[in-house]
Amino acid sequence: MKFNAFFISLCLFVSCSSYAAEKTVIRIGVQAFGTVDWELAALQDNPQTDFQLKIQHLANAEAGKIALQSGAVDMIVSDWIWVSRLRATGSDFTFYPYSNTSGALVVAKDSPIHSIKDLKGKRLGIAGGELDKNWLLLQALAKQEHLDLNASAEKVFGAPPLITEQIKQNRVDATLTYWHFAARLEAQGYRQIIDGKGILKGLGIQEDVPSLGYVFKQSWANEHKQAVNSFFNASKQAKNQLCTSDTAWQKIVPLTKENDAPTLAKLRQRYCEGGVEQWGQAEQLAAGHIYSMLRSLSNNQLTGQSENLQPGTFWSIE
């Protein structure tokens, strides 16, 4: 009783909350049922000491960018090209890698297309628009084969679900689409010709450069370094868990919105192939080379006017 009375009186003098350090709240915006959602679901199975996640589900990638720039969330997953473009305008957003997984060029199982050269005169479905990074880079690789895809292929641009239906209905001969849509097609017997990593290697980029990463304000991260670092470590551990533990994977299966075993297996395979194993100076220099290529290929439309990748685009854990 004496101890309890002492503790209560002490709490009146010094806030009891000071005895347990308050966790940093990380407000993260994600697309419902996307792969980031899988990872965060797995992450939350393990208690965290340095941070607390507040997940806000968003309709699409553009909604995420708006939420981040307006301050409605602290972090989203996006690409470093966009980050560099923002930094060129004075913003202090920065990027930390999340995934190496990239899109792929896919054809029907019995298609006569076996290489990029075979796309000449064919109907090509492209997920996204004319400034899609994989489309720009695929054109550059085709030019090495003396093929102008922009002039010699019949192109159809659209959202990934639309492009999937186009190839299923034989309205296009090949589709260049996002990785999870490509994986679902592969599970149904479609063939992958080349993926984003293969395109880059064909263009002389040997390093694996993550296309997607966590994007957040540098000033905010500097104020919450311990929590941010802990989150990144926990995120990587969650991904490893999904790739090594069948029990962990089964828990997030409902988030994939799939019940077909071959599709689930292919989604897991491609997802796990996207793990970031190396992220250092070599990869960041390679990103600078990719930036220069995309700037030239898009005539500055994708990257903005800045000649080089902006300093501070990549956040380093200290």
Q: Are 91 and 304 in contact (CB under 8 A)?
A: no
Per-residue model confidence as pLDDT tens for the chain (318 residues): 444 444 444 444 444 444 345 889 999 999 887 889 999 999 988 777 889 999 999 988 899 999 999 999 999 999 999 999 999 999 999 999 999 998 999 999 999 999 999 999 999 999 989 999 999 999 999 999 999 999 999 999 999 999 999 999 999 999 999 999 999 999 999 999 999 999 999 999 999 999 999 999 999 999 999 999 999 999 999 999 999 999 999 999 999 999 999 999 999 999 999 999 999 999 999 999 999 999 999 999 999 999 999 999 999 876
Q: Looking at the chain, which runs of residues are DSSP E strands?
A: 24-31, 51-58, 75-79, 93-99, 104-107, 123-127, 154-158, 174-177, 191-195, 212-217
Nearest to 306 by CA among 317, 292, 318: 292
pTM over 0.85: yes
Residue-range domains of the chain with CATH: 22-100+210-261+279-297 (3.40.190.10), 104-202 (3.40.190.270)
